[in-house]
Structure 1
Amino acid sequence: EVLGRKFSLHYDPINESNTFTSGDIVEGRVVLEVTKEIKVDSFFVKLTGDAHVSWTEGSGDDETTYSDHERYFKLKQYFIQESSKKGENVLNSSHKGYKALIHFLKITNLYNKI
């Protein structure tokens, strides 16, 4: 909690191993709670999904290291749009939480390059 504000972002696992594959939709919730009135210009989240892999084969002079990086998604989702009038958006403590279901992404380019 910072200055009377509590923010959390949760995604919903779709299986016991907590993994996603091509075509899966990742869903989650954004929760913003305030303990006193605050003025908000805008409220958004930025999400990035990256994968990194690295391994070594062979040994000695025949050792080769392989690595790769892939970006699966990068998005910015607004929950409160910026207004032309500063401070027009007001949240107060009677607002028990800003909860929104968001579709983070549909994984479409997840594949095995090896």
Structure 2
Amino acid sequence: MNELETLLFVIISTSVFMIGVFFVDILGWVQDLIIKRRRNKLKKQWEKAYMELGNALLPVMIELTKTLNSVTEEMRNFTMEDEYEDLSEEELLELERMHFPSRSDEQEKEDDNLGIK
């Protein structure tokens, strides 16, 4: 009878173990389905949010492109004369002397730096 009880115990234990493994497997499968549904739902939400963001930013991007195009066009048409057209003749000469000093001005600066008077 002892061997019969041991055999019965092994059979019942194995059956319980197999049923447990089966339920754990089913729970894992259900969990995978739930996760997959959540992922799909989140993916759809992200796609919707991305599309809404794109639709909201589209007018801004169009305006930005127009502004950049107009600035680029202005830069193409800009000349240095445009910047200095309001200056008097004396101011123009002063600017020219500042940006393009004559050799004597450079020599005076070098002499001043060297302490030569």
Pairwise same-fold verdict (TM > 0.5):
no
TM-score (norm 2): 0.19
Greater Rg by CA: 2
- Greater helix share, structure number: 2
Higher relative contact order (CA 8 A, sep 6+): 1
Please state which structure has a larger fraction of its residues in strand: 1
In the superposition, the TM-score normalised over structure 1's length comes to 0.19
